[in-house]
Amino acid sequence: MLPKKLIKKRSVVAMAIAIAMVGLGIMTPPVTAVRGGGGTPPGLPTGSNNFKLRGTQPDANATNMATFVEGASCLGCHGSYDQPESAPYDTWITSLMAHSARDPVWQAAVSITNQDANLGGEFCIRCHAPGAWMKEKGITGDFSLFDTTDYEGVNCHFCHRAVNPVLGPDSAVGYPGNDDMDPDVEIIEALQNAVVPWADDLMPLGNGNAQYVLDPQDVRRGPFDGIPLNFHNPIPLIHSPYHSKSDLCITCHDVSNPLYMLQRDGTYALNAMDTPHPTGNPADMFPEQRTGSEWQMSQFADGGVVFDDGRFGGNLDGAISSCQDCHMPDQTGYGCFATFEPFQERTNLPHHGMTGSNNWVVAAVKHLMDPFEAENIGLTDELIEAAESRTNQMLRDASDMELSIVKGNLVVRVINQSGHKLPTGYPEGRRMWLNVKFFDPAGEIVLEHGHYDFDTAVAELSTTKVYEAIHGIDEAVAKVTGYKEGKSFHLSLNNVILSDNRIPPRGFTNAGFESVQAMPVNYTYADGQYWDDTTFAIPSNAAEAVVILYYQVSTKEYMEFLSDEAKDGSGLIAYNAWVDMGKSVPVDMDCAAIEIVAGNPADLNNDGVVNGMDLGILLGNWGGPGGDINGDCITNGVDLGMLLGAWRR
């Protein structure tokens, strides 16, 4: 727990900053590069060359690139539908991607990145504020040049100008009225012929890492072929099968740190300062997030999975496969406000809520925003509440839990139903854990594992299972940075995965996950295993066990880190928003109870009766531990005697 004095100090400073900001009329706190200072070691003297990556490059003067338009310009036609869940604007506006540049947690992490690695913020902006990056804004970590559109983060116009870098059947199908003209060929050729000092060409390599390719024109690429009337005229509507594929999402949902180069022994070594990555291939960089690769190595990418209970996909029938199937489930409605001929009702409108697991940051963004600004962009409490309930449902659909009593112990099985590891994505501060309570016959708690205090946000996790990935820095990086070796939240410096026991998805293989730098670390899962079992000893007077699987987005430890480390006050703003929003309230993903009947140890298969089946188990395990009844770990004549003595009881 924090000492009271410290808590007070945190809020007073934040308030002062908040007041100063309102005074300046800035809706989101500016983040500027602050180097070293205080007790913190000075940052690495990296340069922008360290963060060069392929794909379309910034164009500050917009000479070759149409500027990005803000979401509000789509709102008139793609918002406020009769069926609100099918309206792209009204659902996107409460997604994390609509606020990926306003997110106070992100702003604090960028500030720390700029302290730790000079100009490292450029890397962050590529994904979290791609429109701003394209205009070379904020590359120095200075957000003061950002306008409203830049703060939109991943907006409508960005996604709908994305081009498939792989020419083929998923490429766009030509400008309407000019089917001979293939827009993608020209765009890809320009990348192939690009001359830059740091790479042979600009064709994206490997997976993700924001090597996006954008249409230089203002176009609207989307999933539908043959839209009867183009309301955007003269802006072309382009049919793009790519938009229905996971590849589009993987562009940003596989994150690799270009500061590091994979070595032969499997470690990651720091590259020379202000020098491009030796290969430019994300597979040779440190794997910060592997959501896209986890999916690619799962059964979801290989034919998909049919869910009998229809938990994912909305109207979609049959196998669930892509990111869109789960994160943009099909809705019924019209594709715009116009519900008249020639427009038609569609049953495959992708939900733009892009629901994930973050249940507090969008509310925090609104909380920190000028209320007029919030009203302007249509970010209402009502829409945020709807998004929160979608998020809770998503988390509940993510897993199933089964309880059983095996040999007098409670076994908790958590089954991953999602399309990647559970949990996946951003590792810092994200976790799931088991809360196990044993009750006596009078209903009093006799023992609890994984207790969480909802007031203080302190979790006691030493005796329970926690699912998480822990990243850190190795000895070599500790030496050059001055930070301690081991676990660390300095995400731009982290170069080792100390542990990762997150549950793999269906179709998991160790070789497959190893090939994409996503293997379990300090934990084992067998090929094909997409669940995990944890055993708890049952206290003698327990009559019932109740188990809850909790998920938490941002831990106290992580938020304190941001608050303590960011020298410009951005961490404090994030910390206080976290407090004000209820300290990232854990979500109960599953809850189950089991009665504990004082079982007969001779009932080896736990079916309530000692009979021939138990005898079979005992004989089949003769000499080994499997049929042991008296607890000496060997199945022998003593156990046989006990079993026969308990026959049919």
Which structure tokens are listed for 75? 């709102």
The CB-of-171 to ligand HEC minimum distance in angstroms stands at: 14
Is residue 429 within 8 A of residue 489, CB to CB? The reply is: yes
- Please identify, using beta-carbon distances, which residue of 429 and 450 lies nearer to ligand HEC: 429
What track of x and - describes contact with ligand HEC for positions 543 through 582 (by CB under 6 A)? ----------xx----------------------------
> Can you tell me which of 78, 137, 290, 583 binds ligand HEC, judged by CB under 6 A?
78
What track of x and - describes contact with ligand HEC for positions 274 through 313 (by CB under 6 A)? -----------------xx--x----x-----------x-
> Can you tell me which of 183, 236, 419, 512 binds ligand HEC, judged by CB under 6 A?
419
Is residue 277 within 8 A of residue 268, CB to CB? The reply is: no
> Can you tell me which of 106, 286, 536, 550 binds ligand HEC, judged by CB under 6 A?
106
Part in contact with ligand HEC (CB under 6 A); list of ranges 265-273, 320-328, 516-524, 641-649: 320-328
> Can you tell me which of 175, 231, 452, 483 binds ligand HEC, judged by CB under 6 A?
231
Which amino acid appears at position 258 of this protein? P
Q: Is the dihedral of CA 415, 384, 106, 457 positive or negative?
A: negative
Question: Environment class of residue 589 by beta-carbon count within 10 Å: exposed (0-12), middle (13-18) or buried (19+)?
Answer: buried
Positions in 53-72 near ligand HEC (CB under 6 A): 69, 71
Positions in 492-531 near ligand HEC (CB under 6 A): 492
Is residue 649 at the binding interface for ligand HEC, with CB under 6 A as the rule? no
- Please identify, using beta-carbon distances, which residue of 249 and 412 lies nearer to ligand HEC: 249
What track of x and - describes contact with ligand HEC for positions 580 through 599 (by CB under 6 A)? --------------------
The CB-of-604 to ligand HEC minimum distance in angstroms stands at: 37
The CB-of-263 to ligand HEC minimum distance in angstroms stands at: 21
Which amino acid appears at position 321 of this protein? S
d(CA 607, CA 358): 42
> Can you tell me which of 324, 494, 495, 576 binds ligand HEC, judged by CB under 6 A?
324
> Can you tell me which of 54, 253, 366, 583 binds ligand HEC, judged by CB under 6 A?
253
Is residue 411 within 8 A of residue 533, CB to CB? The reply is: yes
Residue bearing tokens 């179709």: 507
Cis peptide before 234 (omega within 30 of 0): yes
> Can you tell me which of 59, 170, 274, 397 binds ligand HEC, judged by CB under 6 A?
397
d(CA 617, CA 644): 13
CA distances to 203, 237, 280, 374 from 217, rounded to whole Å, are 19, 11, 27, 30
What track of x and - describes contact with ligand HEC for positions 429 through 468 (by CB under 6 A)? -x--------------------------------------
Contacts 24+ apart (CB under 8 A), 138-142: 139/48, 139/58, 140/33, 141/31, 141/32, 141/33, 141/110, 141/111, 141/113, 141/114, 142/30, 142/31, 142/32, 142/33
> Can you tell me which of 268, 426, 531, 561 binds ligand HEC, judged by CB under 6 A?
426
Give the CA dihedral 110, 113, 117, 120, nearest 10 degrees.
Answer: -30
> Can you tell me which of 97, 188, 414, 436 binds ligand HEC, judged by CB under 6 A?
97
Of 193, 194, 192, 167, the closest CA to residue 182 belongs to 167
Of 570, 540, 571, 338, the closest CA to residue 441 belongs to 540
Part in contact with ligand HEC (CB under 6 A); list of ranges 317-325, 372-380, 456-464, 622-630: 317-325
> Can you tell me which of 277, 390, 420, 465 binds ligand HEC, judged by CB under 6 A?
420
Residue 463: count other Cβ atoms within 10 Å of its Cβ. 12
> Can you tell me which of 54, 290, 352, 390 binds ligand HEC, judged by CB under 6 A?
352
> Can you tell me which of 27, 31, 65, 105 binds ligand HEC, judged by CB under 6 A?
105
Part in contact with ligand HEC (CB under 6 A); list of ranges 5-13, 232-240, 365-373, 459-467: 232-240
Is residue 28 within 8 A of residue 368, CB to CB? The reply is: yes
- Please identify, using beta-carbon distances, which residue of 140 and 621 lies nearer to ligand HEC: 140
Residue bearing tokens 């005796």: 463
Measured CA angle at 517 (ends 511, 519), to 5 deg: 55
